[in-house]
Structure 1
Amino acid sequence: MNKIILVDDERIALEHTKSLLAWDEYGFEIMATATNGRSALRLCEEIRPHIMIVDIRMPVMDGLALIRAVSERKIGVKFIVMSAYEDFDYARQAISIGSVSSYLIKHEVDRNKLLLELNKAKESWEADENQRRMQRSDQLKEMITGTGLPLTLVDSSAAPPFGMLLVQKDVPFSAVPSVNGETGLLPSLKWSFAELSRLSDPTPWQLVGEFALNRTQLVALFSQKNRADCTQRDSFKDLVAVLQAHLNRQNNQSKSIYYSFQCHDSLGLRDSFRRVEAAARHAVFCGNAQMLCVDDLPLLPLGSENYASALHHEYLEMLVEGMGQNDLVKMEKAIKNQFHSLGGQRWNLPGLYETVHTLSGLLNKRNAALGLPEIDPLPLTDKVPLYHIDDIMDSYILLFRKLFSSMGTHDRLSNKLLRALKHIQEHFHEDIAIEDVSHATGISPSYLHQLFKRELSRTFLDYLTEHRINQAKLILSREDAKMTEVCARVGYRSPQHFSQVFKKTTGMLPHQFRHGGRHL
């Protein structure tokens, strides 16, 4: 509803204007009336209407003085000026102030004329409000992220207690850390917290402003309307729950909200932002579709961002020992102990990345020893997206189980076949055939065919294709290289042929894999 205040020193005129429309049917609500400019100014500061319909000639404070006073306060009101006189000098003065939408002669106003001018004023107010919101959002972003003016200069009406929240579009874990949540793969999100906050009315909270942090994250700041005490933490949680429920109905992409509540002053908002932003970076420790108060999470203390916990050496030694002994129980225990240590008293995100890279390196080192191609473990082991640290742990346990089951089959590959595999892994990007490998290794083509079938249960071409496609997957998941470059780097001359082979092998085209198809 657009809020309206009527101002006229003649009560008969006020009643006549009120009777012209069924106001609420057209999206307008008369919030108050006043008979002089001074009373109207006080009401305007309290109600903050969208539109004021104002008579020009009034006692105490006339219409022009009222318009100037409201405009100086930058409340953002649009005025429809009405007068019983065709006084164009007044009209010019009113319009020159800049916030006047139209000037009407009272005896000429009917229902249709009034509705037309109201809609014009509404459109003008909405256009100006969008501009004001964009400006406030930019100022708020600069203030909260630490580069701008104090909050009191951005919005003088904002005062503690405050509630801050960060909404994040959930993205599966990647072994390569993203920068500020920016993946480059997700469409821009356009959410209006101004609209969403109305869903929980009546609420003791009012929106101060919101801004997009990047393509996957939005931040909103609320202040409490009733500042008598700091007992409204639960009511802010209720507001966050309503926002999340509404957002999750917008599409099938899950989202998480991380929020912080503090009663003190605006100087603490930058710390609140750092906490919600840090919590969003640690989403893998709590999973997707979450609504969490960051004040209660086991995050590292602010100012200790350089902290990084390495792998526990005893767990790493246990894993390597288990691999050497082909002891699956010991390997699984070492992996579980390591992952559980990362989410203990403090969430250790650097340690998680180090763990993932170390385990992947051990797997690929053993694969190379068995003559198997290098793999990127996380995208290739599971078609279900990995949102939680336990899912990552389970994926690695599954990988090591598969490695354990293959050791008996592949740990005694012949030296001749190992030489052939080494040559393929060094020259797969070239246009090679089995005859080239035969010439390089001194093994006849027919005998090489037999070795591949007997020791790897596949043909030379099967192995070469598998190795090339796995290398293509690594490039697609780690780099933003052009498809023609990817094609050439893995040994295919024709992008069309590469796409056909990739789809036949993986069930999807290369660009689908790059844009998240590997998680379908």
Structure 2
Amino acid sequence: MIKLLIADDEHLVVESIRFIIEKYTDETEVVGIARSGREAIEKAVELKPDIVFMDIRMPGIDGIEAIRQIKATNGDVVFVIVTAYEYFNYAKDAVNLGVHEYLLKPVNKHRVMETVNSAAQLIRSKRSAIQREMLLREKINKIIPHMEGQFVYSQLFSGRIIKDIAFYEEVFAMALGHGYVMMAIVEESESYEREETLKNSLDKQRFYDIFSLELKNLTPCLIGPPMLDRTVAYIPVNMNEDSYTARNMAIEIAQKLIRRINKSINIHYKIGLGRRYDISNFLKSSNEAYMAAAVANKDLMVHYEDVILSVNAVDTYPTNKEKTLIHKMLTGDLNGVLESFEEIFWWLTVNYKDDMDKIKSKLLELLVVVKRSIPYEAKESDVPEQGQFIELLKIQNIRELKASYTNYLKNTTLAIGENREKELSGLILKSLKYINNNYQKNISLDDVAKEVNMSYHYFSKFFKETTGKNFVDYLTEIRIERSKELLKDVSASIKDICHEIGYSDPNYFCKIFKKVTGMTPTEFRSNPLSQEVM
């Protein structure tokens, strides 16, 4: 509905316009009458009309001044001037001020209708444009967090140099050329109880939500998705600031963030700050932030430049992360593989810095461990193997080294997954063949599980997920379909058919047959329509 306010001190004019609007328009409603400029301003604020019919000459504040004041508080109102002929030139000036149209007194019905319709069309177009803009903004707001996460994630895992930085700067509405990494690490719980583990996971997610919300309220930044025990943020800075000032600004932001986090959640965590760099050195800043957070003792926050360490101050090589990585590979969890490798690579770059030989030596050791853990079938047929050692030895750039190793882990994980799919596909075909060849015997789920060398419980779940039916239902379906064929032979007894398809009790067979088909075997045999359906 479109709301219209009439501002005129002539009763006849007001009633004429009201009559035309109410009689000849459907979507426009007269919501108020004003007899003076002051009253028009007050009612415009109160009623929030879409259209105002405004007389120029009224007691006190004239129409032109009233329009100016109303537009100052609501620029979307559409104004229509109503004027006598002798004020025509005055009305033309009002049109130049943005008035939509003018009407001469006495008002003409067709001119009023045309004016109202054109004003209404203008209002609908504006509303439609606003709605489209809101929908677009809503879609963008949903997409941007994903793009933001992918941006940070790609810098951590691939370390690619960004060629289209201007595009991302436009999308995120911030300069990204220079900045530093802030990393928060949540301390792992030593409890292995299921309820405690679930609570820890929920606490980590809540910490991530609070960290993201509060940091974005403090400064423009990009925040990556939560990864195991850590959250990574990239905070752009002005490179014209001197290093000391930039460092203290980063510390001040982190301190404010810590105060806000601690008000909302009770959880053990550390925050590390890397030095500012060109964005091409994102990974270097993230390694520094990791080191700062990893060596923080009593302090909740440490800047890399404040860290004074001996060479061996950082904890020992994370062997447990190797086990996690291999487990994720064997279960096909590609994201888990990348996150585990990221932690291992972080440790290597932090502890060995630019010593490529030491880093490559550790990665080659990991490669051997991975290859020994891969199932034989996958290792021999699908997993890329030859040349990987040589390729690693040739690489002299830390980014290329990480990208090459990450690519190897991706391909290996995918190959294991494909091999597993082939294996499972073969197993289900083998199990179905066994059932089809032995349905007439007293076979059980355990018999089929032994045939395909699976545990009873795993096979039960596997069979249901693969076929969409549980074992008993599938076996029953096979037996009932076979019994339908046998019932065509009228000389065969129900008892003989029952034994031939694997049931020992004819009464039980009849009960199951009726449950599946809606008829007893005798009724089915005597019903010619049933035979045709088969």
- What is the TM-score of this pair, normalised by structure 1? 0.36
- What is the TM-score of this pair, normalised by structure 2? 0.36
- Mark the structure with the bigger radius of gyration: 2
